[in-house]
Chains A and B, each alone.
Chain A
């Protein structure tokens, strides 16, 4: 009986902490995998794994970072499995990009949003992931470095290159010329 009550308390606490983070978790998984179905699998596996090790989470405030870390690992694991199943990831990604970009937005910027999503889909994962963590999840570059097991300098370089590539894909030019000029600001 007591065990049942404890179990319910645990479930309620898990739900209270993790449910509000589900949207963040899904979006992170989606931009990592570029596939809605893979993202849903990642969320499922992440929550299952989180539930199993929930007692190890001491600080509820750290739950978001904890879940995203698990999701990153689960994505790598699922991606590996997909590869073994000989799914053509490129075809999957292409179709998902079109489906996602074609999603109607009640927004005057719908075209620009579609273009941006396509451009994001085309970024390499090494550039896309830190960008998503920074822009969508609000991570600092230090937190991104910890999450991706990189030096902070490497993160800054990737973020700069990511934005540069996005600008190029969106036809906004790049900063190569300015960066190579090395002129003092006036």
Chain B
């Protein structure tokens, strides 16, 4: 016989996800009028919430890049105009940030992470020690601690060299670690830009860049990761 569900337990479940209750919670709702009433309130609240969130969207056409880009295939002369305008837009956008950060290495690190948005996700996937070792060895480094929290280990092109790109899972979310053997830096530098928190630390003959979605995740993991990197040649 299962332990009786308490009001608090039921309300936390129903208050978090009223449309997807576990079988045990559904069974309890069928036996407890108070909890059933609470569940009904939650579902009514969600119904009202959904209607409130369904605000009208602007009509299609004024925010699309599609029509503009199609022109590229039809009129070669416009390719340059379009490319120029897109380049200008990209440079302007990037320029604002680069000028504010005054740190092109940090800028390149952010761009690299942005190009691989699939990497910064929380996951239970883990690489094998052999996979991790293979990736790190090419850069002449290894991790002192185990591989239990590394979900991705791959080599990437960065500033015309191949570097190890790791994603480490922490309690506060995933962080990206780039081992930059050819980018010596004199001192540590931190940045909070474009939705990322990052730090670049001197390490061995180069540097280690660590990037997270939040400063909390970064602070928790940066020192630990940096300390576990060991240069072997």
Contact = CB atoms under 8 A, between A and B. Distances in A.
B66 A7 contact: no
Given A43-B63, A132-B53, A163-B45, A179 B8 contact: yes
Q: Which secondary structure dominates chain A's binding surface?
A: helix
A112 B213 CA distance: 36
Contacts of A141: 16-17, 20
B171 to A, nearest CB: 8
B16 A156 contact: yes
A31 B52 CA distance: 11
Contact of A146 (B34, B58, B122, B194): B122
25 contacts: A11-B69, A11-B73, A19-B66, A23-B57, A26-B58, A40-B63, A51-B66, A51-B69, A69-B117, A73-B194, A84-B96, A100-B55, A120-B49, A134-B17, A151-B171, A155-B16, A159-B16, A163-B45, A179-B8, A179-B12, A182-B8, A183-B7, A185-B7, A185-B28, A185-B35
B73 A7 contact: yes
Contacts of A91: none
B195 A80 contact: yes
B191 to A, nearest CB: 11
Contact of A4 (B42, B58, B73): B73
Interface residues of B, number: 60
Interface in B10-53: 10-12, 15-17, 20, 28, 31-32, 34-35, 38, 41-42, 45-46, 48-53
- Size bracket of the A interface: 35 or more
A124 B19 CA distance: 23
Q: Which secondary structure dominates chain B's binding surface?
A: helix
The 4 closest A-B pairs by CB, nearest first: A76-B195, A7-B73, A185-B32, A184-B4
B77 to A, nearest CB: 14
A113 interface: yes
Contacts of A180: 8
A70 B8 CA distance: 37
